[in-house]
Amino acid sequence: MLTSKQRAYLRGMANGLDTILIIGKGEITDNVIMQADTALTARELIKGRVLENSAYSSREGAELLAERCQADVVQVIGSKFVLYRPNPDEPVITLPKAGKK
């Protein structure tokens, strides 16, 4: 689970990213899940988009993909979303430390 500070840090990093994952009018297939999983392993942070003719809203699509790929939804704005999952073997992104409660 990400803290708000970590989420803000990742949102800033995602600003410059290109959209690499698109959910169209079909279901979220195993192929789309595999593509997201592979991209998350390589990049840790990916940006996706849900097309208008999709059966899913952008929030539904992002949450479904995050659940299937064991990732966190960082942000959903309009039709775009950002997912994050740290690479367990070779982490690329160093998150700010979580504050004490």
How confident is the model over 66-86, as pLDDT tens digits? 999 999 999 999 999 999 999
- Domain residue extents for the chain: 4-84
pLDDT digits (tens, 9 = 90+) for 44-61: 999 999 999 999 999 999
How far is it, in rounded angstroms, from Cα 86 to Cα 94?
9
- For domain 4-84, the CATH class is alpha beta
Backbone φ and ψ for 21, nearest 5 degrees, come out as -130, 125
Confidence of residue 63 (pLDDT cuts 50, 70, 90): very high
CA 25 to centroid of chain Cα atoms: 19
* pTM reported for the whole predicted model: 0.92
What's the Rg (C-alpha) of the chain? 13
Bigger pLDDT: 100 or 49? 49
